[in-house]
Amino acid sequence: MTRVGSALVGSLRARLLFFLLAAIVLAAGTQALVAYRTVLKEADEIFDYHMQQMAMSLRAGLPPSAAVGGIGSADQNFEFVVQVWTADGERIFESADRAALPQIAVLGFADVQARGTTYRVYSMQARGLVIQVAQDMAVRRQMAGALALRTVMPVGLMAPILMLVVWWVVSRSLAPVARVRTQVAARQADDLSPVSESGLPEEVRPLVHELNLLFERVRHAFEAQKHFVADAAHELRSPLAALKLQVQGLQRAHDEATREVAVGRLTAGIDRATRLVEQMLALARHEASVASGTAATPVDLAELARLAISDVVAAAQARRIDIGVDEASAAATVTGHAEALRMLLRNLLDNAIKYTPEDGRVDLRIAADAEGAALIVEDSGPGLPAEERERVLDRFYRAGASQASGSGLGLAIVKSIADLHGASVALGASERLGGLRAVVRFPRRA
């Protein structure tokens, strides 16, 4: 029983075969029961009528002995028992070869226990006599059972054919599932191409569709990992080589002044390498969150601005840069990923602080109109030439000599997160502060 239960739980084919065959058996049993009860009811009505007519035929008087014996013989198959009683209770007639049944005072039909079985008895009174006609109920039950058996017999004979038909239909219906299983089992570990959805039933197609979506997300995650490893190997090669040269320069320093210069260069190189690693890890985390398909939630841009400024305020204070949220900012909410948007805004602010001279200014403003909401970051730095404003959004692109110390990933991360949220990034000149003006515009959601 445990093996059968395990097979039913683990195999859809076994489950379908079991329940379909059980339904056939149940239907056959129900058909037999209904046939039996129907035939038994009809037999009761027919035999009751026959007993009543037989008793009424004896009202005119008793037939001769031979004739009475003939009644018993003619109806031998139906096992009718006929008895006649006088008003004084004397039995004056009984059918041949029958033991006497008890006399019943109640006229009409009644069920009597006698001879270890149940008899159906009909009694009537005529000319001072009581006429009784009885029949063993087992005869009626046997007749009903035989007819019910003949009704179910074709189903029993057809059962093997029905089982083969059911097995064939179930196997054909589950063939697409087996095909998908074979396709997936035959794949290599790095094969994430979609599984074919053609020819699949409606019940299976959504499952395969979701499986293909999962393959797509995993493929994006693998590609992001490969890109990260390739970019890391490429970009870390130069900083590490520079650090090695700076260490060698420190070793060759012969006086304190030369040593201090070498230590300063080494510290700056370590800072640049650290910054590069941090931004590459931030980009990897963002791409991993995109691949995981986490759900978007409402994000308050005012709260987002407060958190992002708190992340960079220490760096701004170290360079005496005035940073804050413009008082003209509007209240706005967008749908997205809070941590990713915080990373986007932090990179914009960090980029502005990095290239703004000391005692400069960085302003953050939130705008909202009928078309959507926008995050606007302006600084008083040198800005960017028009021909480079699009290219700086690419990975590892450094614009101009002034940005040679950068990693070229900050604005690439901004562009990637904006694309995730269906937003656009535009770089231009700040008319108010004279430096760079970065605008991230979020479309209005229906």
Identify the pLDDT of residue 231.
Answer: 61
pLDDT of the chain, 446 residues: tens digit per residue: 445 454 444 567 777 778 888 888 888 788 878 888 888 788 788 888 888 888 888 776 655 443 333 344 434 445 788 888 887 777 787 775 555 566 666 788 888 887 778 888 888 888 778 888 888 888 888 887 887 778 778 877 877 888 788 888 877 877 777 777 777 777 777 777 777 777 777 777 787 888 888 888 777 777 766 766 666 665 566 567 767 777 887 787 778 888 888 788 778 778 777 766 776 676 666 666 655 556 678 888 889 888 888 888 888 888 888 888 887 788 888 888 887 888 888 888 888 888 888 888 999 988 888 888 888 999 988 888 777 767 777 666 666 544 445 556 667 778 878 887 888 888 888 888 888 888 999 888 65
263 and 317 in a single domain? The answer is no
User: Considering Cα of 425, then 430, then 432, then 434, what sign does the dihedral take?
Assistant: positive
Q: Where are the beta strands (DSSP E) in 295-406?
A: 297-300, 322-325, 333-336, 361-369, 372-379
Residues 303 and 282 in one domain: no
Say if residue 254 is in the same domain as residue 332: no
192 in a domain, yes or no?
A: no
What is the distance, to the nearest Å, from the Cα of residue 346 to the centroid of all Cα atoms in its chain? 38
CATH code of the domain in which 376 resides:
3.30.565.10
Strand partners, 425: 440
Alpha carbon distance, N-terminus to C-terminus of the chain: 57
226 within a domain of the structure (yes/no)? yes
Q: Model-level pTM? A: 0.46
Indicate whether 224 and 363 sit together in one domain: no
Query: Which residue, of 246, 266, 294, is where some domain finishes?
Result: 294
Domains identified in the chain, total number: 3
What pLDDT is attached to residue 104?
64
Give the pLDDT of residue 65: 45
- Same domain, yes or no: 206 and 312: no
Residue 159 and residue 272 in one domain: no
Question: Is the domain of 424 the same as that of 333?
Answer: yes
17 and 154 housed in the same domain: yes
Burial of 216 (0-12, 13-18, 19+ CB in 10 A): middle
Amino acid (1-letter code) at residue 419 = D
Domain limits for position 355 = 295-446
* Domain assignment of residue 270, yes or no: yes
How much is the pLDDT for 77? Answer: 45
Q: Please name the residue that has the structure tokens 């005012």.
A: 302
In the prediction, which pLDDT does 71 show? 43
User: Is 336 within the bounds of a domain?
Assistant: yes
Outline where DSSP puts E strands in 23-79.
Answer: none
Query: What does the angle CA 413 – CA 234 – CA 227 come to, to the nearest 5 degrees?
Result: 50
Do residues 129 and 62 both lie within one domain?
Answer: yes
Tell me the torsion sign for CA atoms 208, 214, 217, 220.
negative
**Do 309 and 287 sit in the same domain of this protein?**
no
Statement to judge: residues 157 and 230 lie in one domain: no
pLDDT at 122: 87
| Cα–Cα distance, 65 to 68 (Å, whole number) | 5
* Whether 348 contacts 438, CB under 8 Å: yes
Please choose, from the candidates 312, 333, 316, 329, the residue with its C-alpha nearest in 3D space to the C-alpha of residue 365.
329
Domain membership of residue 246 (yes or no) is: yes
- Examine the domain organization and report whether 136 and 205 are in the same domain: no
User: At 36, which CATH number?
Assistant: 3.30.450
